Amino acid sequence: MSINELLATLKAHEIHLTVKDGQLVVQGNRRALTENGLLEHLREHKPALIELIEQGDYQNGKRGAPALPANGIEQGCERITPEMLTLVKLDQAAIDLLMDAIPGGAANVQDIYPLAPLQQGILYHHVTATQGDPYVMQVQFAFSDQARRDAFAEALQSVITRHDILRTSIHWKGLETPLQVVWRHAELKVDSSPLAADLTMDLGQAPLMRLVCHAPVAGQRVEATLLFHHIAMDHSALEVVRHEIQACLSGQAEMLGVPVPFRNYVGQALLGVSEAQHEAFFREMLGDLDEPTLAYGLQDLSGEGDAIEEHSVTLDQQLCLRLRAQARTLGISVASLFHLGWARVLAGLAGQSRVVFGTVLMGRLLGAEATERALGIFINTLPLRLDLDEQGVQAAVRATHQRLTALMRHEHAPLALAQRCSGVKAPTPLFNALLNYRHSAPAQASGETWQGIEVLQAQERSNYPLVL
């Protein structure tokens, strides 16, 4: 479990953290701490938690986040004017251009605001892709019959109706900066058109997903493929969608909590740490680097990801226990061990001691309300620079931990900004490898709820040639 996921879980269970005499003090629901395995995760992240609290980035479960302005577009509004937009400044001509692109015009528009950090990078690859789109994802399902498939589609539509990010379209043509528009109503597209070899998606039409039904074969199950765009959902969001579909299928939709608007995340990313602060941090980290870290010498990051092969290895349980024990002994997180290990691998592949690679940050705002149940693209990829000199392993892993902790304060910085702060000149990429260290809860779908529905395969793609 990442530190952001841990803090969101603590917030949900009303468990608060403080530091007294250099020690982490935990106050709250004792049962929640023991039943959810939170104590183990608190031990793992203890040094980073203490550092965050002492730096003032976390106060009793609430990060010092700025107050967000309310949405000025009211229900039933038939004309949107500049003063109604509280997260972006647009003139009337730009607003009218957007309204012309939305079915139903202003009456069907709930909100307008800029893209989140990772959305900016994903849009870049969407626009520059020559064949297909590396960020169109797919999950293939099998259903016992057509009625079960229809029930699944209906449940998914209910989830779309609940969450603003699933009713969002992306627009950039004719605008000074790319924007996202939240529709009030967006219907899931269900069709039977054949899947193209080079998958793509119209980002200007919400929802950014569609269910493609395959022709049934006599005596076999009904199959369908759900296509969705990564610009609207990350891995954690997919788990939330799955949970809510399950609730709808089992007749428990009314038990779901109030959805958290994605605008809250975008607003805090915009109004939090300033661009100047982001730039100062990354110039200090990357400013003296004039050589990229390119494993195997691969420089082309514009691919569609369809040629990427995947290999999985399950780590031995005893090894996992030793890693956690070692992390506790050193006073760092297990994530820091993996980041240092990955850096050493890349140092060997690239033949250099100053290594840079991308690390995936969860971005689910420390202490933000109910972020563990929020939908959207919260993750962000940012560069991590590690110098593998003659220092010992313990010193190196502690330095890695300190740099990761410092990076978290800038988790909403645009990747393009960070890359500009290095001495590596465009179009040469700063790095070509990623490490995505994340916690995935074990699947719990079973029994009558998912009876007659089976996930056959899921496909995620990336434009980076090497991802761990």
Q: What is the pLDDT of residues 69-92, one digit of tens each?
A: 899 999 999 999 999 999 999 999
Judgement on whether residues 404 and 455 belong to the same structural domain of the protein: no
Judgement on whether residues 233 and 311 belong to the same structural domain of the protein: no
Domains in the chain, number: 3
Judgement on whether residues 87 and 8 belong to the same structural domain of the protein: no
Q: Give the residue among 107, 96, 78, 73 at the shortest CA–CA distance from 185.
A: 107
Residue 7 belongs to some domain of the structure: yes
User: Can you tell me the distance from the alpha carbon of 207 to that of 185, in angstroms, rounded to the nearest whole number?
Assistant: 9
Structure tokens at 230: 């990564």
- CATH code, 340: 3.30.559.30
Highest mean pLDDT among 176-190, 209-223, 364-378, 404-418: 176-190
Residue 421 belongs to some domain of the structure: yes
Look at residue 413 and tell me whether its pLDDT is greater than 50. Answer: yes
**How much is the mean pLDDT over the chain?**
85
pLDDT bracket for residue 366 (50, 70, 90): very low
Encoded amino acid at 450, one letter? W
Judgement on whether residues 324 and 419 belong to the same structural domain of the protein: yes
Domain hosting 234: range is 82-264+447-462
Highest mean pLDDT among 2-16, 207-221, 287-301: 287-301
In tens, the pLDDT along 7-65 reads: 767 766 777 788 877 788 887 777 777 766 777 777 777 777 777 776 665 655 444 45
Residue 367: per-residue pLDDT: 46
Judgement on whether residues 104 and 246 belong to the same structural domain of the protein: yes
Judgement on whether residues 300 and 210 belong to the same structural domain of the protein: no
What backbone torsions phi and psi does residue 225 show, to the nearest 5 degrees? -120, 125
27 CB-contact burial (10 Å; exposed 0-12 / middle 13-18 / buried 19+): exposed
Judgement on whether residues 258 and 366 belong to the same structural domain of the protein: no
Judgement on whether residues 94 and 190 belong to the same structural domain of the protein: yes
Least confident of 55-59, 353-357, 373-377, 405-409: 55-59
- CATH code, 216: 3.30.559.10
Residue 63 belongs to some domain of the structure: no
CA dist list (Å): 60 to 46, 65, 174, 348, 427? 15, 13, 44, 43, 44
Encoded amino acid at 425, one letter? K
Residue 344 belongs to some domain of the structure: yes
Residue 131 belongs to some domain of the structure: yes
Least confident of 192-201, 328-337, 339-348, 384-393: 192-201
Residue 67 belongs to some domain of the structure: no
Judgement on whether residues 285 and 325 belong to the same structural domain of the protein: yes
Judgement on whether residues 363 and 247 belong to the same structural domain of the protein: no
Judgement on whether residues 428 and 306 belong to the same structural domain of the protein: yes
Residue 234 belongs to some domain of the structure: yes
What is residue 24's three-state secondary structure? Answer: strand
What is residue 69's three-state secondary structure? Answer: coil
Residue 440: per-residue pLDDT: 63
Residue 70 belongs to some domain of the structure: no
Judgement on whether residues 130 and 256 belong to the same structural domain of the protein: yes
